[in-house]
Amino acid sequence: MLSFLKSKKASGPTSQYDQLGGEQGVRAMAERFYDIMESDPRAQDLLALHPQPLNAIREKFFEFLSGWLGGPQLFTEKYGHPRLRARHLPFRIDVKMRDQWLLCMYQVLDEQVQDQLLHMQLKQQFTRLAHHMINTD
């Protein structure tokens, strides 16, 4: 048992991507995020900002999350550096939009992330990210 602990420690910390279940888990997060956005009337203004149908944006979000969470850098390989704030400047993002985005993401975390520490870390990271995207009063 001790040798197992040593080998586990020697391999280093596991990425959030791996903790979430790799491609399958991260894809499930991205898909559920947009499912919530489409179905929850409290996110209707946020949904209205997105081009329909949502197939392409769902895939881009998965690709972004993959790299952002420590997995394969799929978004960067296809599109270059995410430059999220710059890419979102054409859209009016205020506190209301931030809160609608976080409403969807928090629900995903509540449904899909059972590990309390990981849940807390992701909630903090997503909150910082969403706040950073605000570009108007």
Q: How do residues 45-80 score in pLDDT, each as one tens digit?
A: 999 999 999 999 999 999 999 999 999 999 999 999
Query: DSSP labels for the chain?
Result: -HHHHHHHHHT-PPPHHHHTTHHHHHHHHHHHHHHHHHH-GGGHHHHHHS-SS-HHHHHHHHHHHHHHTTS--HHHHHHSS--HHHHHTTS---HHHHHHHHHHHHHHHHHH---HHHHHHHHHHHHHHHHHT----
Domains, in order of start, for the chain: 20-132 (1.10.490.10)
Mean pLDDT, rounded, for 22-28 = 98
pLDDT higher than threshold 80 for residue 13: no
The structure's pTM equals 0.88
Q: Which of 38-42, 52-56, 80-84 has the lowest mean pLDDT?
A: 80-84
Q: Name the band, by pLDDT with cuts 50, 70 and 90, for residue 3.
A: very low
